[in-house]
Chains A and B, each alone.
Chain A
Amino acid sequence: QQQVKQSPQSLIVQKGGISIINCAYENTAFDYFPWYQQFPGKGPALLIAIRPDVSEKKEGRFTISFNKSAKQFSLHIMDSQPGDSATYFCAASMETNAGKSTFGDGTTLTVKP
């Protein structure tokens, strides 16, 4: 019930291409879905987040698509750049659960120049 499944585990994209990372959850009580970006040796940092009452959110080159009925959400990185090479984590949390987040296992993105 608390799992968040993330795919793919790793992704290689050419510069300028679109990177797509998918996540699926089971618990319909989750009400907040952030994506984090982590560079080697650093802590994760919030990239973009969405609530389930919205189907899409866009910030610059980053877009979250959210499908409540399918219990899936995805991160799209448009015009991928070598500087986007990092590990990306999706997460899901509930306001009523001490704000604990359940994280996906991460996707290592490599953008080739």
Chain B
Amino acid sequence: SQTIHQWPATLVQPVGSPLSLECTVEGTSNPNLYWYRQAAGRGLQLLFYSVGIGQISSEVPQNLSASRPQDRQFILSSKKLLLSDSGFYLCAWRGSGGLGTQYFGPGTRLLVL
């Protein structure tokens, strides 16, 4: 069966510090991968998606970047965090040839102080 992991679960970072969030998927090959941000009590904002290694599409221009160094690894990064980067970050995967269901990871709670 497929599983998706995210870490860390919680992160408190000062403004201006770098960020690296990691997401890995097990049990599937060539998945589509997605990064979302969810503000408190709000919906899901798609940040980046990837259909293959090294292929990254950005949905919203901002202080973040994403990379996909391996088939089942997706990384969200920032060189200098802003207060507005605080939120709940979710990684999701979808089978490249399957139905439209996305499967979400447990999320990372980021607080920028």
Q: Please, how many residues of chain A have a CB less than 8 angstroms from a CB on the other chain?
A: 25
A43 touches B105 (CB 8 A): yes
B102 interface residue per 8 A CB criterion: yes
**Interface with A: B11-19, B38-46, B65-73, B78-86, which one?**
B38-46
Q: Report how far A95 CA is from B94 CA in the complex, Å.
A: 11
- Return the contact of B101 from the options A43, A49, A108 (Cβ within 8 A): A49
A46 interface residue per 8 A CB criterion: yes
> Total contacts A to B, CB within 8 angstroms?
57
Q: Please, how many residues of chain B have a CB less than 8 angstroms from a CB on the other chain?
A: 24
Chain B interface SS verdict (over half): strand
Q: Report how far A36 CA is from B49 CA in the complex, Å.
A: 19
A60 interface residue per 8 A CB criterion: no
Chain A residue with minimal CB distance to B96?
Answer: A99
Chain B residue with minimal CB distance to A98?
Answer: B51
CB distance from A42 to the nearest CB of B (A): 7
Q: Report how far A105 CA is from B43 CA in the complex, Å.
A: 4
A45 interface residue per 8 A CB criterion: yes
B7 interface residue per 8 A CB criterion: no
B101 touches A45 (CB 8 A): no
B32 interface residue per 8 A CB criterion: yes
CB distance from A108 to the nearest CB of B (A): 8
Q: Which B residues are within 8 Å of any A CB, using their own CB? A: 32, 34, 41-44, 46, 49, 51, 57, 90, 92, 94, 96, 99-107, 109
**Can you name 16 A-B pairs with beta carbons within 8 Å?**
A32-B99, A32-B100, A43-B90, A43-B105, A43-B106, A44-B104, A49-B100, A49-B101, A89-B44, A93-B100, A94-B100, A98-B32, A100-B46, A100-B49, A103-B43, A105-B43
Q: Please give me the 8 A-B residue pairs with the lowest Cβ-Cβ distance, nearest first.
A: A32-B100, A43-B104, A93-B100, A105-B43, A99-B94, A103-B44, A99-B32, A43-B107
